[in-house]
């Protein structure tokens, strides 16, 4: 529940203007809460005298806006997006726990529909070998049940060879994992919420010098696994939204690459 300190409140009404569910009103010149709300925090963020608190949430990491440390120029942001690469060759170097925590923070502060904050991430590291086995078994199930109109049907025999190679040799570098030291799974009930979180997670990873690969192969395989839900302990309607290989890139890229033109469409 939102709390408003009436001794601090100056009755400016700014919190009322930004409250989407219209849950705040003025009474005797002070802001009051009508009922429980979605806890978006707009009222807290806009209050000029810090009269608003959200007792159910951590308050020790609330930061006052500082343009010098908060603002990113459009040019730098666009260059950052242009320069990112999908990494398929990783160093054998441990990822520091603080960097993983920063990625989790980026996920924690990602916007979610109705402020549900139902997105979470699972890092597979200590059980990576077991996870790989589950992934390959799921891929085998996918191949065995591949529909006749699947555009990837022409690769079926080749992919079965890769599966046999993994079963017989269990190579560290295979067509799925590229010697990455770990994988991060983005879990959510809502696909948009999870997709936004995955995007923020990747940006934070890259900003810290890490490389990321969003693997559709692994996601397809897990969707055909009979073991993955139990392995991950997925709840109710939770789904795997994104599979992100993480590690330090082995190669250093020197420039951006071209892309096809994209037109602005205005209807």
Asked if residue 139 and residue 31 are part of one domain, the reply reads: no
Neighbours of 14 (CB within 10 A): 17
pLDDT at 171 (0 to 100): 80
* Long-range contacts, stretch 195-199, CB < 8 angstroms, 24+ apart: 195/241, 195/242, 196/110, 196/111, 196/112, 197/106, 197/107, 197/110, 197/112, 197/119, 197/121, 197/241, 198/241, 198/242, 198/244
Asked if residue 188 and residue 94 are part of one domain, the reply reads: yes
Asked if residue 112 and residue 82 are part of one domain, the reply reads: yes
pLDDT at 173 (0 to 100): 73
Q: What total of structural domains would you count in the chain?
A: 2
Asked if residue 14 and residue 91 are part of one domain, the reply reads: no
- Return all residues near 149 (Cβ < 8 A) that are at least 6 apart: none
pLDDT at 56 (0 to 100): 85
Neighbours of 23 (CB within 10 A): 17
- Cross-strand partners of 126: none
* Domain range for 122: 74-247
Asked if residue 128 and residue 8 are part of one domain, the reply reads: no
For residue 175, being part of any structural domain is answered with yes
pLDDT at 206 (0 to 100): 98
**d(C-alpha 183, C-alpha 31), whole Å:** 47
108-136: buried (b, 16+ CB within 10 Å) or exposed (e) per residue?
eebebeeeebbbbbebbeeebeebbebbb
Question: Domain holding 23: CATH number?
Answer: 3.30.70.20
Complete DSSP assignment for 65-100: --HHHH---HHHHHHHHHH--B---B-S-PPPHHHH
Asked if residue 41 and residue 80 are part of one domain, the reply reads: no
- Return all residues near 222 (Cβ < 8 A) that are at least 6 apart: 134, 135, 138, 228, 240, 243
Asked if residue 94 and residue 9 are part of one domain, the reply reads: no
Q: Report which of 96, 49, 85 is spatially closest to residue 251, judged by C-alpha positions.
A: 85
For residue 65, being part of any structural domain is answered with no
Along the 267 residues of the chain, how does pLDDT read in single tens digits?
Answer: 899 999 999 999 999 999 999 999 999 999 999 988 888 999 999 999 999 999 888 877 899 999 999 999 999 999 999 999 999 999 999 999 999 999 999 999 999 988 888 999 999 999 999 999 999 999 999 999 999 999 999 999 999 999 999 999 888 778 899 999 899 999 999 999 999 999 999 999 999 999 999 999 999 999 999 999 999 999 889 999 999 999 999 999 999 999 999 999 999
Asked if residue 222 and residue 126 are part of one domain, the reply reads: yes
């Amino acid at each position: 529940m939102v709390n408003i300190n009436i001794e601090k409140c100056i009755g400016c009404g700014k919190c009322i203007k930004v409250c989407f569910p219209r849950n705040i009103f003025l009474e005797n010149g002070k802001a009051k809460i009508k009922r429980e709300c979605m806890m978006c925090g707009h009222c807290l963020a806009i209050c000029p005298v810090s009269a608003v608190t959200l007792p159910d949430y951590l308050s020790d990491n609330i930061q006052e806006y500082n343009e010098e440390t908060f603002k990113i120029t459009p040019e730098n942001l666009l260059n950052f997006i242009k320069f990112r690469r999908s990494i398929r060759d990783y160093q054998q170097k441990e990822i520091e726990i603080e960097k993983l925590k920063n990625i989790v923070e980026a996920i924690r502060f990602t916007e979610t529909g109705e402020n549900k904050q139902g997105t979470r991430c699972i890092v597979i590291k200590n059980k990576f070998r077991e996870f790989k086995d589950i992934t390959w078994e799921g891929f085998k199930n996918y191949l065995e049940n591949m529909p006749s109109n699947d555009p990837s049907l022409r690769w079926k025999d080749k992919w079965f060879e890769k599966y046999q190679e993994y079963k017989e040799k269990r190579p560290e570098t295979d067509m799925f994992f590229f010697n990455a030291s770990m994988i991060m799974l983005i879990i959510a009930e809502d696909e948009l919420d999870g997709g936004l979180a995955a995007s923020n997670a990747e940006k934070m990873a890259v900003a810290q010098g890490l490389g990321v690969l969003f693997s559709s192969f692994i996601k397809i395989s897990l969707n055909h696994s009979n073991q993955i839900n139990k392995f991950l302990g997925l709840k109710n309607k939770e789904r795997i939204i994104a599979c992100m290989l993480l590690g330090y890139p082995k190669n250093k890229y020197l420039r951006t690459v071209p892309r096809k033109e994209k037109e602005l469409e205005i209807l």
